[in-house]
Amino acid sequence: MIEVQNIHKSFGELEVLKGVNLKVAKGEIAAIVGKSGAGKTTLLQIIGTLDRPTSGKVMIEGQDVFALNDKQLAAFRNRHIGFIFQFHQLLPEFTALENVCIPAMIAREKETDYKARAERLLTDLGLKDRMGHKPNELSGGEKQRVAAARALMMKPDIILADEPTGSLDTQNKKELSELLLQLRKEYGQTILLVTHDKELAGIADRVIEMVDGRINE
């Protein structure tokens, strides 16, 4: 579960988030929509602990995340939050399998423990024959599935996706929408999307509109 309480965020004199309150239930798919500059990505980055609010509180699975020190916060993020970005953020020199293993390597798990888990995730996502390929050898849809597998590697409580279909063609957009529904069904994650894509927003249980730094549900 995600709970955002009265979040404000300013960059100098520019106030980007103006008292945002939001709850996303466990297992829910919620989509945040709105015009560019509304504050969607800033909010997602704060929920994902990649940025800190000027004021307010973010609770994830009952934990006040910004009460943690930097080391604790990094460990919490790696364990509880999975990210899917618009441009995949895959390391080009690593194979698909190695990219998926990165969160477990950061957590210093044993290779014997995490490698089989990564292989199983890639197989589940239809990439059994692509594990040894590097990102430049994969299609756009395949890269996004590798990113999804990496996001699931630590069995996180929540998945945050920022414009995940932004760089995909029509067919790959459709496949990603189906993939997110599949992930929720099989793994039970809470999924929060930021998107301009009306079709992707259409798979959500709830659509949340942001206007000028505020939630307008």
Residue 63 sits in a domain whose CATH number is 3.40.50.300
Closest CA to 87 of 163, 177, 176: 163
User: pTM, whole model, 2 decimals?
Assistant: 0.83
Q: Which stretches of the chain are assigned E, i.e. beta strand?
A: 2-11, 14-24, 29-33, 55-60, 63-64, 81-85, 158-162, 190-194, 206-211, 214-215
Using DSSP's 3-state secondary structure scheme, residue 32 falls into strand
- Residue pair 180/203 in contact (Cβ under 8 Å)? The answer is yes
Q: Per the structure, how many domains does the chain have? A: 1
- Residue pair 83/153 in contact (Cβ under 8 Å)? The answer is no
Task: Give how far Cα 104 sits from Cα of 61, 114, 155, Å.
Answer: 21, 6, 10
The CA distance from 79 to 107, in Å, is 8
pLDDT tens digit sequence for 28-51? 999 999 988 889 999 999 999 999
What was the pLDDT predicted at 217?
Answer: 65
Least confident of 44-53, 63-72, 103-112: 103-112
Domain of 50 in residue numbering reads as 2-215
